[in-house]
Amino acid sequence: MKILVADKISPKGVAYLRAQSGFEVIEAYGSSPEKVLELVRDVHAIAVRSETKISADVIAAAPLLRVVGRAGVGVDNVDVDAATERGVIVMNTPSGNTIATAELTFTHLLCGARPVPQAAASMKSGQWDRKSFSGIELFKKTLGVVGLGRIGSEVAKRAQAFGMRVLAYDPYLAPSRAKAMQVEPATLDELLSQSDYITVHMPLTDDTHYMIDEAAFAKAKKGLRIFNCARGGIIKESALVEAIKSGKVAAAGLDVFEDEPLAKESELRTLPNVVLTPHLGASTAEAQESVGIEIAEQITDVLRGGVIRNAVNMPSIDAAAVKVLGPYIDLGAKLGTLVQQIAGPQITALRITYWGKLVDLDTNSITRAVQRGYLRRISGDGVNFVNAPVMLERLGIKCDILKSTEHSDYTELLGVEAIAADGSTRSVTGTLFTKAAKPRVVTINQRDVEVEAAGKLLIIENKDQPGMIGYIGTLLGRDGVNIANMSLSRQAPGQTALIVINLDSEPSEAVRRELKGNPNIALAKYVEL
């Protein structure tokens, strides 16, 4: 398998890839877009930093591509939507630069409190000016941390070591975690009005774009010091410039900008109380080595069919999760395939329901398995865990996920229901039996059965009358098809019965036609799992 290393990553990361049996590594740093299009024709993986653009055209030109690995956090240079549609995993390395970025943030905090860069520049110009560079202390001041993820948490720890009070705004911050970290949860307005220093550590999204704008600065303390080593665009630069000019903001430190590189004529460059760095968050020897090795390991895991970590366009599955979720993922795929074959083509929604112990698990990967299973016979090998939701949406099929607290006869139960436009449904449920965790189907169309979810199945709904089982067995016997197992379900004598048969081989088309043509048989469906 070929791996294109398009941008320069740690030599140890490249060496790790080269040491893998069956891998051919192509280093092509600084290639033109045209050269990249040529190189990707037969590659299975691409490793990049921020220089090379992995556009939709690049992805379309790489029919064998399975994974794009970004040695760093941001994936702005990768067309994630195009990758998802093609079923290509996009991964980053969010933890490799955590300490480097936290330390740079704190460097900016200290420079915002004590104007060391400005004093150093003055000294180098031959001056001795002690009066112009007076600062303030961090001790007993309030730091507002906007976003208490990995980096925000590390900044908070360092602030506490300096004797600062830490407020934290994060919509996903659990009270228990805030208490454990000894930070005070706050609304954004509370944080703005109480903080002497503010640092932002949010991803750039529609919700966080210009989160700190003119209105936010109006609510802030006079003399605020504010810092951004996360993503350009969270702080509105024009609003920041005006807040500095008015004296509302006493100092600022920026490592990231709305447009990079920062324009030479940017007014930010002219403000004496602003410290600027050219996106250096991950620029330490340790961080670069860490992310290079990490992305090499992640790419190897994907190409070897192992765990998926730090994927940005699908649920990541680490080794521990695979051990727990693996059997349920298999069960979900089988049930998705089964319900597709008994439901027919005209459905508008899939409803996936979890009961019992499954309610407490992270079921994202199981849901993807159901979706992929449903699409497998429709879309072929082109569907995978990455693009299954997109393909369902394209077919006009909505997917609803329910976690039920209702009582179930099983400790863990997974249900998949296909809903047609007229409201009619076809459904299956399954669970795991025995210590070997073998998947079993336990209901079909709300009728109790018990069959192994594997291999070849014949599903028959028939009028419950004497001789039907013998008739079916004789017909299959004449066809040379052996019955491995059979499950029979009926509601009451003389009504409709459901027969599910595990077969050793596929029945002939003639047998299927005869079964479907029998007036006492309402449904005769051969399915493969």
CATH number of 317-439: 3.30.1330.90
- Dmax over CA atoms of the chain, in Å, equals 108
CA distances from 337 to 1, 154, 341, 418 (A): 30, 45, 6, 11
Contact between 514 and 504 under an 8 Å Cβ cutoff? The reply is no
With vertex at residue 316, the alpha carbon angle to CA 314 and CA 319, rounded to the nearest 5 degrees, is 150
> 98-276: which CATH architecture?
3-Layer(aba) Sandwich (3.40)
Global pTM? Answer: 0.69
- Given the residues 38, 260, 393, 528, select the one marked as catalytic: 260
Q: What percent of the chain has pLDDT over 70?
A: 99
Q: What percent of the chain has pLDDT over 90?
A: 79
Residues 295-309: what's their mean pLDDT?
92
Residue 309 designated active-site: no
C-alpha 487/C-alpha 160 separation (Å) is 65
Cα separation, 357 vs 474, in Å, equals 42
- 346 Cβ contact partners less than 8 Å away, ≥ 6 residues apart: 420, 421
pLDDT for 320 beyond 80: no
Domain boundaries, the chain: 2-95+287-303, 98-276, 317-439, 455-529
Give the separation between CA 377 and CA 529, rounded to whole angstroms: 10
269 is catalytic: no
Mean pLDDT of 257-265: 95
* pLDDT tens digits for range 180-202: 999 999 999 999 999 999 999 99
- 2-95+287-303 and 317-439 have identical folds: no
Tell me what pLDDT residue 95 has: 83
**Structure confidence by residue, pLDDT tens digits, 324-356:** 888 999 999 999 999 999 997 789 999 999 999
Among the options 49, 231, 309, 440, which is catalytic?
A: 231
Please tell me the class of the 455-529 domain.
alpha beta
Most confident of 91-100, 190-199, 449-458: 190-199
pLDDT value of residue 436: 65
CATH number of 2-95+287-303: 3.40.50.720
| Sign of the four-CA dihedral 16, 19, 20, 26 | positive
Per-residue pLDDT band for 323 (boundaries 50, 70, 90) equals: confident
Look up residue 283 and give its two tokens.
Answer: 């620029």
Which of 279, 447, 490, 512 is an active site residue? 279
Average pLDDT over residues 485-500: 88
- Say whether 417 is catalytic: no
pLDDT at 435 over 80: no
Rounded to whole angstroms, how far apart are CA atoms 82 and 79?
A: 6
> Would you state the pLDDT for residue 346?
80
Which tokens go with 82?
């195009």
Q: What would the two tokens of residue 334 be?
A: 């089988």
Question: For the stretch 4-14, what's the b/e string if a residue is b when 16 or more beta carbons lie within 10 angstroms of its beta carbon?
Answer: bbbbbbbeebb
The tally of CA atoms less than 13 A away on the side-chain side of residue 84 is 15
Q: Which tokens in the block code for residue 406?
A: 């209702």
Mean pLDDT of 464-472: 93
Provide the pLDDT for residue 434.
Answer: 66
pLDDT tens-digit profile of 136-183?
999 999 999 999 988 999 999 999 999 999 999 998 788 888 999 999
Residue 94, pLDDT above cutoff 90:
no
